[in-house]
């Protein structure tokens, strides 16, 4: 008989069950749970058999956010902006593995989906697959554990060590109020995708990605131009096949492109950034500029906004994206003075701010973060505020449901 670890759930009013291919072994109301199954399924990591957990934690159910992007595309910076919106610094689990990829703050837990690699670095090399290939990842375990956390049950999550390239012993993750799963594949598996309350894709164009990688790897790591090109080309087939298609499922896409303000620019220092927001998403209202649903082109440079060459241009309007109706807000150029961002903020609506100037305050607070002077930082901040609003709406609806049932 395979025995799973004993967990203490956060809620004393949770209902949990264990599923096997044939039947459910356990169902009860407890805060101490022992899960077991008689089937002998060996873990791909060489460990003991695992349990499939189904649990309902009532009003404390976790809200799950998915963030997809290729490596080196700004996921870490986005996570820092997002967790800041909810308060408290995001830090690794205290007293745990110093190489843990998990970040925990007052309300959020961020899980890196690299932890669900089924092959370590040597194993991928032996089999001739990259980390982007689904065959190098354990989607069954990913689904089981995200589902458990969403339902209010703690899990022993594996750790992929980016330093050694090995699979380290697991760490205990307790259900947070907000769970963010970030990495290469949060929307690849339909089962995991269906667990997401909101999803974001960071879409960095090949031109910008190449410019960024040259800047980082040549300047900071001493790599040659040829080796950088070879590295990008080696990943491209798997990126195109397995990562890029996920953007069609995203509720919001932050698309980063070369500027159109400088002819034939190839440095990637001035960027054109588009925030693509899907219409009809529950608990989410797209941001708009001036007049909702209109088509707007706006150059705000003048007395209230300092603009050096090549200036700043905003655009807004309706569009379609993979067959979905969307609203698109675009910024091309960069800010000279972040304190003047309040002028732009005052012309944007549906920002889900708590007070006038909150977007500007958040941007000033993290002025040293990459992208703080352009649309990447601005739109990451806005999406963070929208996710806070989404969480509050979901929480309010769960609280209201029992009250309505009682009245009925």
pLDDT under 50: residue ranges of the chain: 1-59
How far, in Å, are 38, 45, 190, 276, 292 from residue 21 at the CA level?
10, 21, 20, 41, 50
pLDDT recorded at residue 230:
84
Predicted TM-score (pTM) of this structure = 0.83
User: Which neighbouring-strand residues pair with 328?
Assistant: 276, 317
Task: Judge whether 53 and 18 are in contact, CB under 8 Å.
Answer: yes
pLDDT recorded at residue 407:
62
pLDDT recorded at residue 74:
81
The CATH number of 59-203 is which of 3.40.50.300, 3.40.120.10, 3.40.1280.30, 3.40.50.1000? 3.40.50.300
Those residues whose C-beta lies under 8 Å from the C-beta of residue 219, and which sit 6 or more positions away, are none
CA-based Rg of the chain, rounded to a whole angstrom?
Answer: 22
Q: What is the residue extent of each domain of the chain? A: 59-203, 251-394
Task: Judge whether 225 and 218 are in contact, CB under 8 Å.
Answer: yes
pLDDT recorded at residue 39:
36
Name the 3-class secondary structure at 209: helix
pLDDT recorded at residue 142:
98
How many CB atoms lie under 10 A from the CB of residue 338? 17
Those residues whose C-beta lies under 8 Å from the C-beta of residue 181, and which sit 6 or more positions away, are 64, 65, 66, 67, 111, 113, 146, 192, 196
Among 373, 395, 376, which residue's Cα sits nearest to residue 384?
376
Task: Judge whether 270 and 291 are in contact, CB under 8 Å.
Answer: no
Question: Is residue 135 exposed (0-12), middle (13-18) or buried (19+ Cβ within 10 Å)?
Answer: exposed
Name the 3-class secondary structure at 182: strand
Among 28, 27, 33, 29, which residue's Cα sits nearest to residue 12?
29
């Amino acid at each position: 008989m395979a025995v799973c670890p004993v967990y203490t759930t956060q809620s004393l009013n949770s209902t949990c069950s264990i599923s096997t291919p044939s039947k459910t072994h356990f169902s009860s109301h407890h805060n101490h749970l022992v899960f077991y199954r008689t089937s002998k399924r060996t873990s791909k990591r060489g460990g003991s058999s695992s349990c499939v957990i189904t649990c309902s934690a009532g009003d404390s159910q976790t809200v799950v956010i998915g963030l997809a992007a290729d490596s080196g595309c700004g996921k870490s910076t986005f996570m820092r902006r997002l967790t800041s919106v909810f308060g408290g610094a995001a830090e690794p689990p205290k007293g745990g593995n110093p190489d843990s990829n998990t970040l925990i703050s007052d309300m959020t837990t961020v899980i890196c989906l690299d932890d669900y690699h089924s092959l370590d670095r040597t194993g991928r090399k032996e089999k001739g697959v990259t980390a982007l290939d689904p065959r190098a990842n354990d989607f069954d375990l990913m689904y089981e554990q995200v589902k458990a956390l969403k339902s209010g049950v703690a899990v022993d999550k594996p750790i992929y060590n980016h330093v050694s390239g090995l699979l380290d012993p697991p760490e205990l993750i307790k259900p947070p109020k907000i769970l963010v799963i970030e990495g290469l594949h949060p929307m690849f598996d339909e089962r995991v995708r269906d667990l997401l309350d909101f999803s974001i894709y960071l879409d960095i164009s090949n031109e910008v990605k190449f410019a960024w990688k040259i800047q980082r790897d040549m300047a900071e790591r001493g790599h040659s131009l040829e080796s950088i090109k070879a590295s990008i080309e080696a990943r491209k087939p798997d990126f195109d096949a397995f990562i890029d298609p996920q953007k069609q499922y995203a509720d919001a896409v932050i698309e980063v492109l070369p500027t159109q303000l400088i002819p034939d620019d190839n440095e990637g220092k001035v960027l054109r950034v588009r925030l693509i927001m899907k219409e009809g998403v529950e608990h989410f209202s797209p941001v708009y500029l001036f007049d909702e649903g209109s088509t707007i082109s706006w150059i705000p440079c003048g007395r209230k906004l300092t603009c050096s060459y090549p200036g700043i241009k905003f655009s807004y309007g309706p569009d379609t994206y993979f067959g979905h109706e969307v609203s698109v807000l675009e910024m091309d150029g960069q800010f000279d003075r972040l304190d003047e961002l309040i002028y732009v903020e005052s012309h944007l609506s549906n920002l889900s701010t708590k007070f006038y100037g909150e977007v500007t305050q958040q941007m000033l607070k993290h002025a040293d973060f990459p992208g703080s002077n352009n649309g990447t930082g601005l739109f990451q901040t806005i999406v963070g505020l929208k996710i806070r609003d989404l969480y509050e709406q979901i929480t309010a609806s769960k609280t209201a449901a029992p009250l309505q049932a009682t009245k009925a």
